[in-house]
Amino acid sequence: MRLKKTSEGKNTIRMSKFEWENIGKQSGWLTAKKKKKDEGWPKKLKKGRFTEYCKRHGFDGPCKACADKAMKSDDASVRGMASFYMNTVKP
């Protein structure tokens, strides 16, 4: 860890990645951050909701026609699922 003075006269602390990780592990915030990453994305709870929506509305599965219909829906969560589908799958 090094103390460095900037051109404005302020002190800054410079440290290596190893030192930074050590501080994070000791304080506990680094391990908590890793646990959050392991949860996965999208969350398992929400996985497959758009497919179920499409099948309920007479489609074989998610497709551009289903996404277009969902974008016209009054329900914001359905529009969100359709938007996510259009942005990630690119039908």
- What lies within 8 Å, CB to CB, of 14 at 6+ separation is 1, 2, 3, 4
For Cα atoms 41, 44, 47, give the angle at the middle one, nearest 5 degrees: 90
Query: Is 7 contained in some domain?
Result: yes
Q: Clarify whether residues 32 and 54 are in a common domain.
A: no
Separation in Å, CA 7 to CA 28, 80, 86: 34, 48, 48
Q: Under 8 Å CB-to-CB from 65, ≥6 apart: which residues?
A: 59
Q: Which domain holds residue 33?
A: 2-37
Closest Cα partner for 50 from 12, 86, 25? 86
**Domain count of the chain?**
2
Tokens 């930074």 map to which residue?
Answer: 20
Torsion angle of the four alpha carbons 88, 36, 33, 77, in this order, in degrees rounded to the nearest 10: 50
- Residue 47 pLDDT exceeds 70: yes
Stated pTM of the model: 0.51
Which residue would you say has higher pLDDT here, 37 or 81?
Answer: 81
Residue 43 lies in a domain: no
pLDDT at 39 over 80: no
Average pLDDT rounded to a whole number, residues 26-30: 65
